[in-house]
Structure 1
C-alpha cells in the first residue's frame, strides 16, 4: 500500500529560503516545520510574548492551509532560548490550545537558527475527522 505525500504552503506564513517545506502531509498526518516569530514579510517580532504569539499564528495559517486546526494537533515541540521563559510561553500557548491538549515537549537550546529568536515551535496534526475516545 502506498502513501500520499503533499507539500503544504500558506502565503500567510513566512516563506523560508532554506530547503524545507512549511509542512508536509502524508496521508492524514501533517508535519509542520519549526516556526519562528517572523511575520509573513520576514520580520522577526520582538520579545518572547510577541514571538510566541507570531509563531503560533504562523502554525495556525499552515494548519488552515491543510484544512485542519489547533484541535487536531497531536504533538508539539517547543524550543526555547532560555528555559526560564517557559511559564511566559505557556501562558500564550494556552490561548491557542484550550482543550484536547496535544502531547508536548519543551527544551532549552544553545541557539536558535536566527539571531534574536527566543522560541521555535513545530507540530504534528491530523487532517480530517479525529474521533475522540476516553
Structure 2
C-alpha cells in the first residue's frame, strides 16, 4: 500500500467490523467508511427502530472519524446516505440538517435492501483535511 495513504482509527467511533479502515486520508481528502448507529463503547445499536436517534448516532460516529483525520463536519464536501426505507427521509433529513448546520455538502440519499445489523441508516462522506 502506498505510504501516501494514511489509515484512520479512533476509539471514539465503532471499530471496523470487517477488513476495512474507518477512513483513509489521501491527497488532502479523507474518505470515510459508512458509519452506522453503533455506540462505540458497546458496539450495540443505538435507537432501535428510531430513525432520528440512529441518524444522530451515525453522524456522531462520522464526526469522531473526521476529527481523528483532522477534518470536521464543516469540511465535508460529499455525503452518501443509505436508508433502509425512503419513507424515513424527512426524519433523517431533520437531524442531518441540525447537525450539519450551514455546511451543505453535496449529498446522495438512496434506499437499500438491507444494511449491516438491520440498522435504518448508514452515512459515509468525503471531507477536506485541515493543514493544521
Would you identify which runs of 4 or more consecutive aligned residues in structure 1 move more than 3 Å? none
Q: Show the counterpart of 2:104.
A: 101
1:112 maps to which of 98, 101, 115: 115
8 Å contact from structure 1 (residues 112, 119) kept in 2 = yes
Q: Show the counterpart of 1:85.
A: 88
Q: 1:31-84 CA distances to partner (integer Å, 9 max, x unpaired)?
A: 010011000020101211111000000000011111111110000000000001
CA distance in 1, matches of 2:73, 2:13: 16
Alignment of 1:11 with 2:14, yes or no, is: no
8 Å contact from structure 1 (residues 3, 26) kept in 2 = no
Give 1:3 shift: 7.5
CA distance in 2, matches of 1:113, 1:43: 12
Q: How many residues align?
A: 127
8 Å contact from structure 2 (residues 73, 103) kept in 1 = no
Q: Name stretches of at least 5 consecutive residues in structure 2 with no aligned partner.
A: none
Q: Show the counterpart of 1:44.
A: 45
TM-score, normalised to structure 1, is: 0.90
Alignment of 1:126 with 2:116, yes or no, is: no
Q: Name stretches of at least 5 consecutive residues in structure 1 with no aligned partner.
A: 130-134
8 Å contact from structure 2 (residues 81, 121) kept in 1 = yes
TM-score, normalised to structure 2, is: 0.91
CA distance in 2, matches of 1:50, 1:126: 27
The RMSD of aligned alpha carbons is: 1.4
